[in-house]
Structure 1
Amino acid sequence: VLQKEQLIQPVQDQVFNEIRKIGSLKKYDYILDSSEAAMLYNAERHDLSDQVLKAIGRTAKIDSRNRGNDKKPTKEELREQEKEERYLSVEEAETVEKKEEAKEQLVNDREKARLEKLRVRDSIKAARAAKFQKRRDSIIEARERRKDSILKAREAKKKANQKTPPGGE
C-alpha cells in the first residue's frame, strides 16, 4: 500500500498542478471532481479531463464511437477538436458561443432573404404567365368569333342562293 501511494503521488501532484493552471487560465472559481461531488449537470465545455491528460503527457480519451481508426477526420470534427484543445475561460466560451449564434443568425437571415427573392421572382413570373394566358385566350376568342361570323355569313349566302333559282327570277 505504501509503495502504491509512492507511485501514485507524483501523478496526483502533476494532475493537481495542471488543474490549478487550467483553473487560473480559464478563471474558474471552482473545479470539482465529479466522482466525489454530487454533480447533477455540467456543460461538456467545462469537462477538463482531456485537457489535464494532454497536459501531463498522457493520452487523451479517444471517442471511437464518433469515427473509425481508418477514417479521415472531417473539417467539422477538426474544428470541434480544435475548440476542445484551446483553453477558454467561461467568458471566452460565452463570447465564442455568441459569435457562433450571430453567424448562425446571419446565415438564417441570408437564407430568408434568398427565399424572399425567390418568392418575389416566382410571383412576378406567375403574374406574367397569367397576363400571357389572358391575352392568348382573348386572341383565341377573337379568332373563334371571326371564324364563326365567316361561317355564318357563308351559310347565309348559301341559303340565299338556294332560295333563288339559278339563272333568273
Structure 2
Amino acid sequence: MLSLSSLYAQRGVRIAYIDTEYILENVPEYQDATQQLNTKAQQWKNEIEEKLAAIEQKRIDLSNEKALLTNELIEERQEDIDFEENEILDYQQKRFGPNGDLFIQKKQLMQPIQDQIFAAVQDLAEGRKYDFIFDKSSDAVMLFSAKQFDLSEQILRSITRSAKRKQAQSKVEKKAAEEEELIPEINEELEAREKALEEKRAERESAVEKRRQEILAAREAKKKEVEERRQKILEEREKARQAKLDARSQTSSSAKVEESNETKGEETDETKTEEEAKPEAETKTQAELIEENRQKKLAEREARIKELEERKQRILEERQRRKDSINAARNNN
C-alpha cells in the first residue's frame, strides 16, 4: 500500500469525469428509441384513459336506469363494471408498474448505451493511464469539476466511430426492432428477469381469467334459478286463474239449469183455467222481471270477468315488453 502511494506521489494521480446524461442526449440511436418508447407509453396511457372513461359512462348509465331494473339486474351490471375496472387496473399495472413493460423497456434501452460507455471509458482509462473516472450525472456529489477533465466528448466520439463501423448491422437490427415493436434484449440476466416477469404476468392473467369464468358461471346459475322461480310463479298463477274460471263456469251452468226449470214451470202454468188467468198473468209478469234482473246481473258478471281478463293480459304484455327491453339493453352493453 505504501509503495502504491509512493508511485502515485511520484507521477501524480490522473482523474477525469464524464457526463452520462450529455452523452445519451447526443446518441441518435438512443434518442430515436426513446421517442419510440415515449410514443408507445402515450398510446398505452390513451388506451387506459379511454377504457376508464367507458367504465365511468357505464356507471352513469346504470345509475340512470336503476329505477327500471330489478335488484338482481342491478347487481349483475355492477359486477360487470367492477370486473372490467379491475381488468383495466391490472393492465395499467402491467404497463406502468414497478416491474411493468415501460420500466423493463427503459432498462433495455439504457443497457446497450451504458455498455458502450463503460467499454469506451475502460479503453480510454487504460490507454491514457487514468486512475479514476467519475460520472458527473451519478449519485456522487461533485462540488466542482473543471472542463479540462471532462472526457464526455471523447467518449461520445468513440461511440460514434464504433456505430459507424457497425452501420450496416445496426440498420438490420433497427428494421427488425421496428417490425417487432420491441427493444432488443440485452443479456442473459436481463432475459431471465424478463422471462420470470412474463411468467408472473401469465400466471396473474390465468388467475384473473379463472376468476372471471367462475363469476360468469355463478351468474348464469343465478339467472337460471331466477327464471325457474319465475316460471313456477307463472304456472301457479295460471292454475289459480283456471280454477276461478272453472268455478265461474259451474256457477253459470247451475244458473242455466234453474232458468230451464223456471221456463218449464211457466209452460205448465199456461194450462190453468180461465178463472186463474188474471192472477197467473200478474205472477208471470213478476217472474219476467226477476228473470230480466237475473240476466242483467249475469251480463254484468260476464263483463267484469272479461274486463279482468283484458287487464290481466295487458299486465302480462307490459311485463314481457319490459323484460324484452331489459334484455336488449343488456345485450347492447
Equivalent in the alignment of 2:198:
97
Cα deviation, residue 57, structure 1 = 2.2
Amino acid at match of 1:57: L
| Aligned sequence identity (%) | 10
Equivalent in the alignment of 1:82:
103
3-state secondary structure, aligned to 2:266: coil
Equivalent in the alignment of 2:140:
none
Aligned-residue RMSD, C-alpha: 3.4
User: Aligned runs of 1:4-153 on 2, under 5 Å?
Assistant: 56-58=23-25, 59-60=30-31, 61=33, 62-63=35-36, 66=40, 67=42, 75=92, 78=96, 79-86=100-107, 89-153=190-254
Structure 2 residues not aligned, in runs of 5+: 1-17, 50-91, 109-188, 273-333
Cα deviation, residue 54, structure 1 = 7.5
3-state secondary structure, aligned to 2:229: helix
1:72-97 deviations in Å (ceiling 9; x for gaps): x9656544321212366221111100
TM-score (norm 1): 0.56
> d(CA) in 1 for partners of 2:217 and 2:193?
36
> d(CA) in 1 for partners of 2:21 and 2:267?
118
3-state secondary structure, aligned to 2:246: helix
Amino acid at match of 2:228: A
> d(CA) in 2 for partners of 1:56 and 1:135?
84
Amino acid at match of 2:257: A
Cα deviation, residue 135, structure 1 = 0.6
Q: Using a 3 Å threshold, how does the CA distance of structure 1 residues 160 and 108 change in structure 2: closer, same or farther?
A: same
Of 105-114 and 54-63, the range deviating more from structure 2:
54-63
Amino acid at match of 2:200: K
Amino acid at match of 1:86: K
3-state secondary structure, aligned to 1:57: helix
> d(CA) in 2 for partners of 1:123 and 1:99?
36
> d(CA) in 2 for partners of 1:54 and 1:104?
37
TM-score (norm 2): 0.30
> d(CA) in 1 for partners of 2:265 and 2:239?
39
Cα deviation, residue 167, structure 1 = 9.8
Q: Which has the larger radius of gyration?
A: 2
Equivalent in the alignment of 2:264:
163
The structure whose residues are more often helix, as a share, is: 2
Amino acid at match of 1:83: I
Of 102-111 and 56-65, the range deviating more from structure 2:
56-65
Aligned length: 115
Cα deviation, residue 56, structure 1 = 4.9
